[in-house]
Amino acid sequence: MSFDAESIRAQFPALALHVRDKPLVYLDNAATSQKPRAVLDAITLYYERENSNVHRGVHHLSQVATLGYENARDKVRDFIGATAREEIIWTRGTTEAINLVAQGYLRPTAQPGDEVLITEMEHHSNIVPWQILRDQCGIVLKVAPIDDTGTVDMDAFRALISEKTRLVSVVHVSNSLGTINPVREMIAAAKERGVPVLLDGAQAVPHMPVDVVELDCDFYAFSGHKVFGPTGIGVLWGRREILEPMGPWQGGGDMIKHVTFEKTIYNDLPYRFEAGTPHIEGAIGLGAAIDWLGTIDREAALAHEHDLERHASEELAKLPGLRLIGTAANKAAVVSFVLAHAHAHDVGQILDGDGVAVRVGHHCTQPVMQHFGVPATARASFAYYNTHEDVEALVRAVKHVSEMFA
């Protein structure tokens, strides 16, 4: 299969939009990706011809909906290289998945002084759940520092793993810096001390193949809406031997086998962790996104994204007063920057006037902003459907801002 950005672009209806009377240049993919026609059609088909609740229904629509919903679970299993469908747990996204691990896995046995190790570049979703657990159980949150390129200090990371470390939880790819962490090295360091590892894969899965068995992690979480699927659906993968003894985090329908007023017998994996009516169309839409990804050459697409990132970084760095934030040697297609004398929100608003959509703010990584001494950045993030023309439009628009605030 060959890679052709223009043919991929044509499959995304939103990319034909005009904003402020100008063609949309969508560079906010780290926040959420656009959706191909195949995903939109799958969701429409579900609502038009298959709409029903799943499981236990004996009528035709329920059986069809259940089949589509559970087939999507199998697609996720194969997509991330898991060995069993029972290890695939539907969540609302990466955030809920991390909270599930915090409350379902760690909290029941956590003791005061137990440690969780993260890094300085984590998303708030991989900070706050552990702070909540700290307040509940007295655990200690340890933070491995990063340097001024946005690269984790691996010597410090290793030194922070101790006999008290109960879990290492790190981001695979930083959403605000683009740094691709050396996760195999991190996992190996943790495993030497017998410490399980959770990876936040929200920014990795959209860009690169992920095989959880090959990585040798213990939990992996990602969100559907960043990988060309719908919002409100995500995945937690966990090793079966770890998930099996875990009790449920939430209670309600579908996570039970039998209920009396005296006792409840919980359901088997994975349903034990999926209380209530699920996001059926979300799962089906994510399955369609995975099918769509199977139609493209992802290795060539990843190389294309790297070319876009290099192009954007090189051209933006030439602009007076512009500072790139996040210059690690191993990066995904994310370019964050600040302009002298212009707040990031002003940059974003002016770029929007030129039809260029970027994300501005702290990107739910306020400790990263504190490290670099900035309140916020402007972030351009690329996907398979972006082109070098998009990069050139971005650079022209940022140059316009630079000249306005010179």
Q: What is the CATH number of the domain that holds 46?
A: 3.40.640.10
If residue 324 lies in a helix (H) or strand (E), which one and from where to where?
A: strand 322-325
Structure tokens at 199: 């990876």
Over residues 335-369, the pLDDT tens digits come to 999 999 999 999 999 999 999 999 999 999 999 99
Active site residue 217: no
Q: Is residue 189 part of a domain?
A: yes
Other Cβ atoms closer than 10 A to 341: 10
**Is the CB of residue 161 less than 8 Å from the CB of residue 193?**
yes
Which residues neighbour 129 within 8 Å (Cβ) at sequence distance 6 or greater? 98, 99, 101, 102, 103
**Is the CB of residue 219 less than 8 Å from the CB of residue 196?**
yes
Q: Looking at the DSSP assignment, which residues form a beta bridge with residue 115?
A: 140, 165
- Nearest Cα to Cα of residue 180 among 365, 367, 334, 372: 334
- Predicted local confidence at residue 1, as pLDDT: 44
Active-site residue (options: 364, 366, 372, 392): 364
- Predicted local confidence at residue 34, as pLDDT: 98
Provide the mean pLDDT of the chain: 96
Query: Do both 241 and 374 map to the same domain?
Result: no
Query: Do both 341 and 211 map to the same domain?
Result: no
Q: Is residue 156 part of a domain?
A: yes
> 82 is in which domain, residue-wise?
40-293
- Predicted local confidence at residue 253, as pLDDT: 87
Q: What is the CATH number of the domain that holds 15?
A: 3.90.1150.10
Q: Is residue 34 part of a domain?
A: no
Is the pLDDT assigned to residue 57 strictly greater than 90? no
Query: Do both 323 and 397 map to the same domain?
Result: yes
Over residues 94-140, the pLDDT tens digits come to 999 999 999 999 999 999 999 999 999 999 999 999 999 999 999 99
Query: Do both 16 and 63 map to the same domain?
Result: no
Domain count of the fold of the chain: 2
Q: At what angle do helices 298-317 and 388-404 cross, to 10 degrees?
A: 20
Residue type, 370: Q
Is the pLDDT assigned to residue 171 strictly greater than 60? yes
Q: Is residue 9 part of a domain?
A: yes
**Is the CB of residue 224 less than 8 Å from the CB of residue 285?**
yes
Query: Do both 258 and 133 map to the same domain?
Result: yes
Structure tokens at 259: 């209920």
Query: Do both 301 and 289 map to the same domain?
Result: no
**Is the CB of residue 326 less than 8 Å from the CB of residue 312?**
no
Query: Do both 301 and 398 map to the same domain?
Result: yes
Mean pLDDT of 271-281: 96
Q: Is residue 289 part of a domain?
A: yes
Structure tokens at 223: 């969100």
- Is pTM beyond 0.95? Reply is yes
Q: At what angle do helices 60-79 and 280-293 cross, to 10 degrees?
A: 50
Q: Is residue 35 part of a domain?
A: no
Query: Do both 289 and 301 map to the same domain?
Result: no
Residue that terminates a domain, selected from 293, 313, 348: 293
- Predicted local confidence at residue 2, as pLDDT: 52
Residue that terminates a domain, selected from 233, 264, 293: 293
Radius of gyration in angstroms for the set of CA atoms belonging to the chain, rounded to a whole number: 22
Q: Is residue 145 part of a domain?
A: yes
| Alpha helix ranges (H) inside 13-120 | 37-45, 60-79, 94-100
Query: Do both 9 and 71 map to the same domain?
Result: no
Residue that terminates a domain, selected from 278, 293, 308: 293
Query: Do both 304 and 288 map to the same domain?
Result: no
Structure tokens at 359: 């994300």
Q: Cα separation of 177 and 244, whole Å?
A: 36
Q: Looking at the DSSP assignment, which residues form a beta bridge with residue 335?
A: 380
**Is the CB of residue 9 less than 8 Å from the CB of residue 383?**
no
Query: Do both 135 and 240 map to the same domain?
Result: yes
Burial of 49 (0-12, 13-18, 19+ CB in 10 A): exposed
Other Cβ atoms closer than 10 A to 283: 27
Q: Looking at the DSSP assignment, which residues form a beta bridge with residue 378?
A: 337, 360
Q: Is residue 24 part of a domain?
A: yes
From residue 256, give the alpha-carbon distance in Å to each of 213, 234, 270: 29, 21, 11
Query: Do both 218 and 252 map to the same domain?
Result: yes
Other Cβ atoms closer than 10 A to 57: 14
